[in-house]
Amino acid sequence: MKKRTVIIAGGGTGGHIYPGVAIARALEKMHPEIEVHFVGARGGLEEKIVPRENFPLHTVQIGKLHKSVGLAARLRTLIQLPLALLASLRILRRLDPVAVLGVGGFASGPLLLMASLCGYRSLIWEPNAFPGLANRWLARMANECLVVFQDAGRFLHARRLTPVGLPVRPVMVPRPRPAHELLRVLVFGGSQGARAINEVISQSVADGGEWLNGVELIHQTGSLDYPRIQELYSKKAPAQVQLFEYLHDMDQRYAWADLVICRAGASTVAEICACRKAAVFIPLPTAADNHQQKNAEVLVRGGAAEMVLQKDFTPAKFQALIQQFRDDRARIGRLEENVSRFAFPNAAEAIVGRVLDFGENGAHP
């Protein structure tokens, strides 16, 4: 007997793909009778990640339409669109899914559009406070929009809007910190690093000064800046500063830290919330639709995080922040208490429940 199928569509970045994989794992566990297939863009990061996770992947040829790419790239995408829609229709007819979930990225657009037009149960999962272009367009057509931030609902004219959170790895949970005197600071910019953040931190470490007293610092740089900063730190950094190119044990690093300084991508924000950490966000100013700043602003308004814009993030500002947190530990406690309100510990399971809820306008052809 043919297995029932759910399609997860999207990709382009790890922030779209890894939550999709987490949802797929929850689907497998909760409903082993259902088979999960992914649909992504040809040449996208999903071609590397999804097969490694042992899920079948189907691809369509489609590019970006967002203004972050040039006019020529957008014209190419418009030319590709009819063929991408036809390829999406073929995938739908072949797999005949019980539901289609779009997790963001330009690959999700054509498949969600065709799924909606053909009467398949279609859902959008939006991880950011300001929705991406494809999700803003498709929200009216989908059966339901699932959001991480309530603020996203202001931009999604959806039939039904449901807060579900963002799936994080099961190891991302609050952990008690052993008592210690030093202020432990974790700085990272994602797997690729963040040059603007790296410049500020490395200059501050090289300059030294009173801000380092009573402070332990872990600095993750990414691969591009690591050799240069490693050479600098070998000459200038005190013993309490540790440098890493990449951190493979983020759950342990979060547990170690009193304060986290990082970007504000949706996955990072979700991990901060899940681990109940005090954070200062430095949003990436070139992120599409400035969504990182909008993500951070949601927590800042709730007293659950602090934010410094990249243009204002200087060595002097960083050093002042460290000294303020070192001298006012209650400030950390307030952020930890408030950020817990933004955590969704069972987000993947909640999403699965919505995907397979056929109670209202949910049947497919």
What is the per-residue pLDDT across 108-146, written as a single tens digit (0 to 9) for each? 888 999 999 999 999 999 999 998 877 888 898 999 999
Q: Are residues 294 and 220 part of one domain?
A: yes
Q: Are residues 8 and 22 part of one domain?
A: yes
Three-state DSSP at 38 gives strand
Please check the confidence at residue 281 and state whether its pLDDT lies above 80: yes
The overall average pLDDT reported for the chain is 89
C-alpha pair distances (Å), 269 with each of 144, 320, 360:
23, 23, 32
- The answer to whether the Cα torsion of 208, 210, 215, 220 is positive or negative is negative
Q: Which structure tokens are listed for 127?
A: 């991880």
* Structural domain harbouring 335: 183-342
Question: Edge to edge, what strands does the sheet with 259-262 contain?
Answer: 241-244, 215-220, 183-187, 259-262, 278-281, 306-307
Q: Are residues 122 and 48 part of one domain?
A: yes
Three-state DSSP at 36 gives strand
C-alpha 251/C-alpha 258 separation (Å) is 13
Please check the confidence at residue 74 and state whether its pLDDT lies above 60: no
Q: Are residues 192 and 105 part of one domain?
A: no
pTM over 0.85: no
Burial of 59 (0-12, 13-18, 19+ CB in 10 A): buried
Kindly state the percentage of the chain with pLDDT values over 90: 63
The alpha-carbon radius of gyration of the chain (Å, integer) is 22
Q: Are residues 203 and 314 part of one domain?
A: yes
Q: Are residues 252 and 270 part of one domain?
A: yes
Please check the confidence at residue 62 and state whether its pLDDT lies above 90: no
Asked whether residue 175 is assigned to any structural domain, the reply reads no
Q: Are residues 241 and 222 part of one domain?
A: yes
Q: What is the pLDDT of residues 146-174, one digit of tens each?
A: 999 988 988 998 889 999 999 888 889 99
Q: Are residues 234 and 150 part of one domain?
A: no
* Residue of higher predicted confidence among 77 and 357: 357
C-alpha 281/C-alpha 288 separation (Å) is 17
Q: List the CATH number of the domain containing 111.
A: 3.40.50.2000
Asked whether residue 177 is assigned to any structural domain, the reply reads no
Asked whether residue 298 is assigned to any structural domain, the reply reads yes
Count of other CB atoms within 10 angstroms of residue 184? 17
Burial of 93 (0-12, 13-18, 19+ CB in 10 A): exposed
Q: Are residues 302 and 227 part of one domain?
A: yes
Q: How many domains, in total, are found in the chain?
A: 2
Report angle CA 343, 349, 353 to the nearest 5 degrees.
120
